[in-house]
Amino acid sequence: MWGFSQNEIYGSGECLPFTLNLSALQKRAAYGAPTDVLGQFERIWRGSLPAHISGKHSNRDVFYSSYIDSYIDRDIKEMVDLKDEYLFRDFVRAAACRVGQTLNLHAIADDVGVSDETAKTWLGYMEKSGVIFYLRPFSNNLLNRTIKKTLKLYFFDTGLVAHLTKYSSPEILLNGAINGAILENYVVSEIIKTYINNGLEHFAHYYRDIDSKEVDIVLESDGFLHPIEIKKTASPSPELTRVFKVLDKASIPRGTGAVICMKQELSAFDKNTLIIPVWAI
């Protein structure tokens, strides 16, 4: 079962597909549950899996340890002849250390001492069983020569990432080395879940070109490209949105963009560029 969305856990319980339509965002914010930076990282650290969120398993660490045991025994062993389950555990942990990064298959394989082909196979099983997902690079005929075409790796549940990377509290996670990456993972997975939990297909990609210009999310909707930047700041600068102009070369017009960040209220830089709190997605 997929994880709950943020609004299903902390807000009104609604799970509407995320868009950059201002009226929809205002409604989403009205029924959301505001929180501060530490509170947001507590949500990230806690995760979203139903068996834990429901209170059935109240001890988070015991729950995630049992979850990994069950995942290997129930799902992975049915798909592959796993000779060393501890090696697979190390592999899952190595993948968790790279959330929000472009996929480097060889580096993950090298971390645990398996072949690149084995790493590719194991990641395929993890994707098939709903543990990980990828953002694919935005592709457009007018941009193909400048786009880097590597996948970006994410986990559906950030609580699992925090457990695997051994962050024992929200406070430590907030100040840890992966705080920016796990925040990005959280935002991307929350947006994707708002579509999956409604039985809808999402059209979310990312953009990175050969000059290292990157847009965290490119959401295609209603004939427009909506660029989104994710930052762990409560005081975002308009400079963050300059990179959105790279999409103007595409054959699809650029629509409303946004910075999703730790600012407490929904606001905007201008009529075409919104500032959205993480708690409101």
Question: Does 27 score more than 80 pLDDT?
Answer: yes
Answer whether residue 62 shows pLDDT above 90: yes
Query: How much is the mean pLDDT over the chain?
Result: 92
Average pLDDT of the residues in 21-40: 95
Task: Say yes or no to pLDDT of 110 above 80.
Answer: yes
Say if residue 171's pLDDT is above 90.
Answer: yes
Looking at residue 225, its pLDDT comes to 97
**Which pair of tokens denotes residue 191?**
């947006």
What's the gap between Cα 89 and its chain centre? 21
Residue 112, pLDDT score:
93
User: What was the pLDDT predicted at 84?
Assistant: 76
For the segment 235-277, what is each residue's pLDDT rounded down to a tens digit? 999 999 999 999 998 989 999 999 999 999 999 999 999 999 9
pLDDT digits (tens, 9 = 90+) for 67-78: 998 887 777 766
Average of per-residue pLDDT across 170-174: 98
Please say if the pLDDT value at position 188 is more than 60: yes
pLDDT value at 58 more than 90: no
Domain ranges of the chain: 6-280
| pLDDT for the residue numbered 148 | 64
Strand partners for 219:
204, 226
Residue 16 is predicted with a pLDDT of 86
pTM: predicted TM-score of the whole model, two decimal places: 0.94
Give CA–CA dist 59/118, Å, rounded: 33
